[in-house]
Chain A
Amino acid sequence: MKEDSEEVGYMTSVSRPVKGCAGDTGEWRVFRPVKDEEKCNNCLLCWIFCPEATISKDGQEIDYQYCKGCGICAVECPTGAITMVKEEKQ
């Protein structure tokens, strides 16, 4: 972090923004949101309501590396296109 202090010109600790600062948070999941493309009308509600930013705006694809399985997208989807399925842990 020496360069950081020099860059900002005073003594401080600087954190860097990264995806997955808490690791692969997908491992926290107990239930996995699974989307049925046929039922999806691309309304974007799941995208806007996902607290974790793990649903893409384009195509509403779920990023399972980080999705924590909160289940909000499944509850808020107006067409029932998302179901929560129990994860099978090895």
Chain B
Amino acid sequence: MVSFKDLPEEELFLAGSTACQGCPSSLALRIAFKALGSNTILIVVASCTSVLQGSYPLSAINLPLMNVAFATGGASASGVAAGVKALVKRGELAEEPTVLVWAGDGGTYDIGIQSLSGAAERETDFIYVCYNNEMYSNTGTQRSGATPLGAWTTTTPGGKVQHRKDIAQIMIAHRIPYVATASLAYPLDFYQKMQKAKGIRGTKYIEMLAPCPPGWKFPSAQMIEVSRLAVQSGMWLLYENEDGETRFTGGTKRIIEGKVKKKPVKDYLEMQGRFRQVLASPEGQEAEDLLEEQVSDSIRRLHGWVPEYI
């Protein structure tokens, strides 16, 4: 068992960045870097992370980093992965670095999906992390394919009417060796998943739910609480899929095993200003029911059935 004491002290994400207070992407980067170490090449897809790393000629990230165009996470990783392999072969690099792509949900669910899919199909050796704040936050909170039903964004002023898509399942359908979901409220679970991904060859996809205080409209101090309640309410399921086998982890495992009671989705929605409008509207109850149904449906798809105690 890993404990906090085992995590490296060294910070590769440097203090004093341009990120907002309580930024989930910053924290996810910090923990990911602890798991992967300094022999890592980072590829950042256009997103908040392109901005929160600081502006030229200064950077908050103490790793080789390349900023790439929105649709190109998978394609850029394919080039870099081929490049480092060639350098190792020629003896110009002693140890092969880990290639890590960091992209938002807009850059993954919507705009980057074809290049990610292509890279996965080519069995490109890299880790792809999608930090999912369920919207285009860098450009001021527009809806994405990851925005959940009922959530306010500037392009869903009355609350989104569609459910989000399930991209982790799309990645599992590529039959890549490792797919996992993660939460900032379960940092050791995330750390271990990143470490595991580092040790596996081929394409690894990890998705982090990233509650964004300004975009979701809650106080920055509650960023971990919101992350935790997403898992406790079933709105975010924690699992890993290795060679096609799904295993629940963290708070989700405890819910599925009946060790703790799943909390109502409403508890999670009420913490966030982006759901305030829909909850107060005549459609509030319906939206809540649809989201509860979707939680059950997601559990059924992953687990085969929904235990009666959930």
Contact = CB atoms under 8 A, between A and B. Distances in A.
A49 B187 contact: yes
Contacts, number: 119
B199 interface: no
Contacts of B62: 17
Interface string A33-64: 00000000001110111111110011000010
B5 A72 contact: no
Given A15-B54, A70-B21, A75 B16 contact: no
Contact of B21 (A15, A28, A43, A47): A28
Nearest to A22: B18
Nearest to A28: B21
Interface of A is mostly: loop
Interface string B26-38: 1100110000000
Nearest to A20: B16
A51 B57 CA distance: 23
A23 interface: yes
Nearest to A26: B16
A13 interface: yes
Given A49-B187, A53-B30, A72-B221, A17 B21 contact: no
Interface of A: 1, 13-25, 28, 43-45, 47-54, 57-58, 63, 65-72, 74-76, 84
